[in-house]
Structure 1
């Protein structure tokens, strides 16, 4: 299959060829023809499989064919993304395929001047990429009108639920025309997604390239059991084995990200941190330096997990396991991109066993132990049918060292109750995106 066979306009094919993109991914192959026919699509695919072009190309094709102008303060197509980084990445990709075209692509996210964004929206925008929080702010100021929106995309809709955007999405839905085309894409499918799908989609075609929760095939996964106090040293030992390769480290909190970045810096690594408290300029600069290899280690919270599309990321380290099991899939999806191999190592304390078991249930496999000892009687449930993993190949010898031995932490030898049920979906994180 080639992009030419999908029925796209020659101008778009030329832009794709300039970027050496000739063969569509499975989600693109199945979603683009249906979207070109005007159908609503619910697409489920792993991170890093090209979902942006799966929805971006059909919308660009339709708008190029219409050659219509935008009314002031309006947008013809609205794309919602959960984080600033992902919104920026989508905007960059769309601008690349629309080079020299008459279509205007706008970006509105938190952390930037709302007055400047308001001014740019005055003349209208063909395609507007936005985070829900900032879009609501602009709607409240009457800076944007959605009455003429013909196309809507919800990208990574599951994370928008995790970040507390459900009320914002419901409000936005009431302001959109009923006659429109909607494309919803996600890597995981939590139960609340059914409500979102029912509110936004009309008779959608469900395209499931990979089962929800399935991790990328080329990621070697392993877990090291270690006490909380020993985690920083264990991480630094792991990083030291691959000093010249890019590594992404995930923490749960903003404070924890900054604190860990300082420890890594003191160990002699070029490191930076990104999270919701950083300004947009700081976040952009850190990502740019990471992509260019000026820094080798980037510490991030989940709010910045999606939108980090850097093919050279070789290692992902979960310094702390995520409270929401589905986020594990997205975290480790930052590596093994663009056909490359990747490695994901999780540092797990005894207190985090609840979270680990939830993750193993979601991905349908028990993650291979590469250091320390899994607490007795704390094995994962039997893998789902079809679930498989590559285990911890390549993560054994490097992960030994200090994490060895029985995990310390909770003296009772039993994970704290309720860990697996904690969910951080507070609407207060809206502005962080």
Structure 2
């Protein structure tokens, strides 16, 4: 192992057993002996080895006097924003400090607090946990920070985003002022700088992020799709890459549930991660990803923060991230520790401009292209099938008899067909996607349906026929795709449908000799295109009448003339000839000012006595008799 910094022998031995040959830039930077007693504010890319980095940085205080003989109160604390990240840090420290004999205790939300309190009572050198649970143990007297030497804030930007500022201030105020404070963050916002200025002393700023260059181990792809093909594009992406592990990010829990159900129905090995799951369910889902029982994880941004899935090769953004930080955090799940990965954004054509701005703000360059089509996925399958290791492995002794028996009964063509069928059977069929270019949908050629067959369906507008359900029904019952169907003309009692000539035989074979679709809809083949289709559809029958009776006929304009059609009105009287009552001015009746009109003078209903008020005092306001 070639390492440029001095490391304690126990930690060097642990790194060598783990397979480390060289250290990453952030690990080398924080291990500089000149910074051994300095507070550090470190920004590094996600997946650059920050956990081992601050583990090495802490060793300057924890192992300064050699390997400790016993554990009492903690000498170091690591605070992480999420349960998964805290558990991951605890696992990393167990192998890193295991040879040094140091005891690691956890204080993680969602775990049994009684077990944690018993572990703290037995003693621990390092405590790793989440802000809320650490505060709870401190308030209950189970966690004593009086002898703390090092405090580490991992993913400090995420903790502030999740609203843990007050918890962080409470924890750091409980620790001694002469402690060493290390803050690690993917981005250093002004709020992070203010927090560092409050709880750090002359912190040394370390950054291993090249703002002008994107992560070299992550390939960014932006795939333009039609608005209705987003889920189909996700299926084709998973089939095209067939990554060992993949994660699909969604914007809401509802989308996680919907997409998980759809992928499970398509035969994918899927687990879901959302905020509504318990810690046990989340741990089980991540373990299924780690041991290979599941290959696709559907998650929201909050639920996936801090998770580390080994060998994650593909990140799919089903919904665009809200900001550049979220984009970098999502994409940073892949391309870790020198491995390669792909970050693919599924971009509906109507929000292409928004995706371009997001990539520009994040200083990322993506390859823009359409989503993989069904033909591209099948071609990739053929290449993968020929590259199967089992096809070139030598025949074992215990396999010779079975091979000879197969060769005696079947020829080479039949055996090859069986291999191809076995390969295809374990994979979901790719989805048909509407052709679309980066600049927008491709216009359908005018000559595409010059060779077509017209069908007449025995249901129309009177029976409630609607294109919204008619088109999917034709595709489902007639074994068609949307590209096989041309014009649809819905009449009052029937419907004309244009089907491409190459798909007409397949359609007729699917509907059967009875020529019937769903809901007993008959199908007739026409010899030629119906006449009059170039004219607009006739007015629906329901327009010919108004509710409550037949349509009113006001006659022809020539019969009525050009006069305005309205009821006659006789000035100074009503329609039946009776004189019309006129209003009188107030001065005519002795009230008000001239020019103000009111009803003719007379007693109003207020002046009439009410028999119910007899014997009751008259109130000034309100009902009679009410004081």
The TM-score, its normalising length taken from structure 1, stands at 0.80
Query: Helix, strand or coil: the match of 1:241?
Result: helix
Aligned to 1:420: none
Partner of 2:92: 93
Which residue of the partner structure matches residue 401 of structure 1?
Answer: 433
Aligned to 1:2: 2
- In the alignment, the residues of structure 2 paired with residue 70 and residue 400 of structure 1 have an alpha-carbon distance, to the nearest angstrom, of 62
Residue aligned with 1:6, SS: coil
**Structure 2 partner of 1:108:** 107
Does 1:368 find its partner at 2:400?
Answer: no
Q: Distance in 2 between matches of 1:40 and 1:340?
A: 31
Provide the C-alpha distance between the structure 1 equivalents of 2:59 and 2:431, rounded to a whole number of angstroms: 46
Q: Secondary structure at the match of 1:75?
A: coil
Take 2:116 and 2:347, find their aligned partners in 1: how far apart are those partners? 43
Alignment-derived partner of residue 518 in structure 2: none
Q: Which residue of the partner structure matches residue 178 of structure 1?
A: 177
Give the secondary-structure state (helix, strand or coil) at the position aligned to 2:246: strand
Is 1:150–2:153 an aligned residue pair?
no
Contact 1:81 1:154 in 2 (8 A): yes
C-alpha distance in 2 between matches for 1:60 and 1:367: 40
Q: Is the 8 A contact 1:234 1:403 kept in 2?
A: no
Q: Single out whichever of 362-371 and 171-180 deviates more from structure 2.
A: 362-371
Shift of 1:366: 4.9
Structure-2 separation of matches of 1:351 and 1:229: 11
The alpha carbon displacement at 1:245 in A equals 3.0
Shift of residue 116, structure 1, vs aligned partner: 1.9
Does the aligned pair in 1 maintain the 2:105–2:128 contact within 8 Å?
yes
Matches within 5 A, 1:264-283: 264-283=263-282
Structure 1 segments, 4+ long, off by >6 Å, are none
The separation in 1 between residues aligned to 2:243 and 2:219, in whole angstroms, is: 19
In 2, Cα distance between equivalents of 1:314 and 1:330: 15
In the alignment, the residues of structure 2 paired with residue 97 and residue 61 of structure 1 have an alpha-carbon distance, to the nearest angstrom, of: 14
Cα gap change, 1:127 to 1:298, in 2 (>3 Å) = same
**Alignment CA distance shift 1:370-1:112 (3 Å):** same
Residue 30 of structure 1: aligned partner: 29
Aligned equivalents of 2:87 and 2:201: distance in 1?
28
Query: Structure 1 residues 161, 357: CA separation in 2 closer, same or farther (over 3 Å shift)?
Result: farther
Query: Per-residue displacement from partner, 1:261-308 (whole Å, max 9, x unpaired)?
Result: 111111110000123322222222222221222211011222243433
Cα shift at 1:200: 2.3
Aligned with 1:249: secondary structure?
strand
Q: Could you say which residue in structure 2 is the equivalent of 1:237?
A: 236
Asked if 1:332 corresponds to 2:331, the answer is yes
**Counterpart of 2:189?**
190
CA RMSD of aligned residues (A): 2.6
Number of aligned residue pairs: 379
Q: After superposition, where does 1:194-273 map in structure 2 within 5 Å?
A: 194-211=193-210, 215-226=214-225, 229-243=228-242, 245-273=244-272
In 2, Cα distance between equivalents of 1:353 and 1:148: 55
C-alpha spacing 1:402/1:201, structure 2 compared with 1 (3 Å): farther
1:83 alignment counterpart: 82
For 1:213 and 1:308, how far apart are their aligned partners in 2? 27
- The separation in 2 between residues aligned to 1:172 and 1:399, in whole angstroms, is 52
Change (3 A) 1:177 1:235: same
The aligned counterpart of 2:313 is: 314
Q: TM-score normalized by structure 2?
A: 0.56
Offset from partner CA, 1:120-147 (integer Å, 9 cap, x none)? 2223321111111222222232321222
What's 2:59 paired with? 60
Cα distance in 1 between the residues matched to 2:356 and 2:175: 41
Output one character per residue of 1:21-65: Cα deviation in whole Å (capped at 9) or x when no partner.
131111111111247621111111111111111110232353234
Tell me the secondary structure at the aligned position of residue 116 of structure 2: helix
After superposition, the C-alpha distances for 1:229-254 in whole angstroms (9 at most, x for unaligned) are 43222211211213353211111233
SS at match of 2:77: strand
Q: Distance in 2 between matches of 1:61 and 1:80?
A: 19
Determine if contact 2:153/2:183 at 8 Å carries over to the other structure. Answer: yes
Alignment-derived partner of residue 15 in structure 1:
14
- Any idea what SS the aligned residue of 1:125 has? coil
Q: State whether residues 270 and 296 of structure 1, in contact with CA within 8 Å, keep that contact through their aligned partners in structure 2.
A: yes
**Aligned 8 A contact 2:224 2:352 in 1:** no
Higher Rg: 2
Q: Indicate if the aligned counterparts of 1:320 and 1:347 stay in contact, CA closer than 8 A.
A: yes
Residues 151 and 304 (structure 1), Cα distance of their counterparts in 2 relative to 1, 3 Å cut? same
Unmatched segments (≥5 aa) in structure 2 = 372-429, 442-627
Q: Which has the larger displacement, 264-273 or 182-191?
A: 182-191
Q: Is the 8 A contact 2:49 2:337 kept in 1?
A: no
Mean Cα displacement is larger for which, 179-188 or 168-177? 168-177
Identify the residue that residue 128 of structure 2 maps to in structure 1.
Answer: 129
Structure 1's 207 and 140: CA in aligned 2 closer, same or farther, altered over 3 A?
same
How far apart, in 2, do the equivalents of 1:15 and 1:267 lie? 44
Q: Give the CA deviation at 1:358.
A: 5.5
